[in-house]
Chains A and B, each alone.
Chain A
């Protein structure tokens, strides 16, 4: 117990790799506990040699744990530092280790979820999807490479940061830099979302004319336009707004809406969805509902 035990860099790399599987045995009772213990095993092997010590350490790390899987890394780092001290005789009790884990997992999940799930992934996903929709294979490749570089880099760097900072990391995390990153990410995220809502929520009201399928790209079908000056205005607006990305020819009602700003109806649907989400309507219900609306309105000739 008395002699100094240190984790080697190789141990920490092994732990970093194992932390990839932290959610593997995710369960309703103690959530990520199995994966957490799995990740800690190289450290337990290094630091504790007797069977009793190992058993105690394993049980200690099978306690409840749940956070965003990537920000678990700094918590792992801190816990490694604490375990190291404990194994070399410093009195760090179970409650202290569990306290650090529980204390950090909440706030860090609060950073990890919006940053990774709601900023980086949507932006990368949208970028990749926009390439993929044009049949460009670079979309998925870019998505895979960039995401995993960011993820692996983040996990290694923060695990090392946690390991070095030890118990002081919680102060570190509430420092200015991380706040800036979070805020900057949400600014970028909202900005890109604004653009995406405009570009990709496709709604086309077709109350008057029957649906006319476009070929050869988005050309304006003059026959179906209203007569006279109104028709010219419509055509010019269509051309200016770069519309007709949908496969249907757009008609008067849609053009009137687009006269305010192109994409307005998409924005309204998005706001409606936000409102429904806040009313606790399940997203799946909404998606199925929108399909039903699409079919019904299409049959009625409204869309």
Chain B
């Protein structure tokens, strides 16, 4: 479908916000569930984009900027794939293909954010100069410039995709053969494992593995909803904390770093 001028402007604004949040990580506009849904909302494709956002969100569960390491960029992946989904005009049927497109975009976004973070190094030197003069306004100015650059990092690619227009995007997607799109759907069912694996690797200790097992087994009961799991999980945590205090022993510091399953995986 073709977008009106107002829709294009709104999408660019959303892309700009997503780019800013990609670095700030505060309001979370860069997370697929928000970025895709917002783009769906302003372009009249709410439900397909909502489903795209939900699917991508599962993929991106473990993506986080830790220290100086940069995670795959959820902002560009969600914004660009949502725009492509909208332009393709295929609705829910186009979600799988849009996801497959999102992954390389996450890498491209990562490269873009590295570039902007390098530019910010130069901006900080301008701040140093301003600090020597006690010039508060200038420091604020350069900080805002850095934030705007991060916004443009996503807004410009988003505008470019829309400038190319719906025609080429649709042709590209329709040129994809069935075996490719179906195969991508099969792959899409598995790739969420990567996100889960990242999160588990961060949290796993000897102490908490049993809770993983309980959750896994209970999940075979289809009538327990995710909210239900939240309830059981909170209860389990509270019970465990209360009991480990009563016991008084076995909970000393330093003993919790073991990870037997992790060791098995390691040795394998």
Decide if B170 is an interface residue (CB 8 Å cutoff): no
Rounded to whole angstroms, the CA-CA distance of A271 and B263 in the bound complex is 12
- CB-contact partner of A66 in B67, B127, B199, B209, under 8 A: B67
Task: Indicate whether A291 sits within 8 Å of B50 (C-beta atoms), given known contacts A21-B143, A122-B61.
Answer: no
A186 CB to closest chain B CB (Å) equals 5
Contacts of B54 in A (CB 8 A): 128-133, 139
Q: A125-B31, A184-B238 are in contact. Are A34 and B199 (CB under 8 A)?
A: no
CA distance A272 to B193 in the complex (A): 9
A270 to B204, CA, bound (A): 13
Tell me if B33 is interfacial: C-beta within 8 Å of chain A: yes
Bound together, the chains give a CA A54 to CA B103 distance in angstroms of 46
Q: Is the interface of B mostly helix, strand, loop or mixed?
A: helix
How many angstroms between the C-alpha atoms of A272 and B261 in the bound complex?
12
Beyond known contacts A118-B199, A197-B216, A203-B189: 20 more, CB 8 A cutoff: A24-B23, A25-B123, A37-B143, A38-B143, A41-B140, A52-B134, A113-B64, A125-B58, A125-B61, A129-B53, A129-B58, A133-B54, A189-B199, A192-B233, A195-B229, A203-B190, A290-B190, A293-B187, A294-B189, A296-B183
* B27 to A: closest C-beta gap in Å: 6
Contacts of B215 in A (CB 8 A): 190-196, 198
Chain A, 239-287, CB within 8 A of any chain B CB: 241-242, 246-247, 261-263, 266-267, 269-278, 283-284, 286-287
When each residue 198-213 of chain B gets 1 if its CB lies under 8 Å from chain A and 0 otherwise, what string results?
A: 1111111101110111
Interface string of A32-53 (1 = CB under 8 A from B): 0111011001001100000110
Interface residues on B, range: 35 or more
- Chain B positions within 8 Å of A, measured between CB atoms, are 20, 23-28, 31, 33-34, 37, 46-47, 50-51, 53-55, 57-64, 66-68, 72, 100, 103-104, 106-107, 117-118, 120-121, 123-124, 127-128, 130-134, 136, 139-140, 142-144, 146-147, 150, 179-180, 182-205, 207-209, 211-220, 222, 224-227, 229-230, 232-234, 236-238, 240-241, 261-262, 265-266, 268
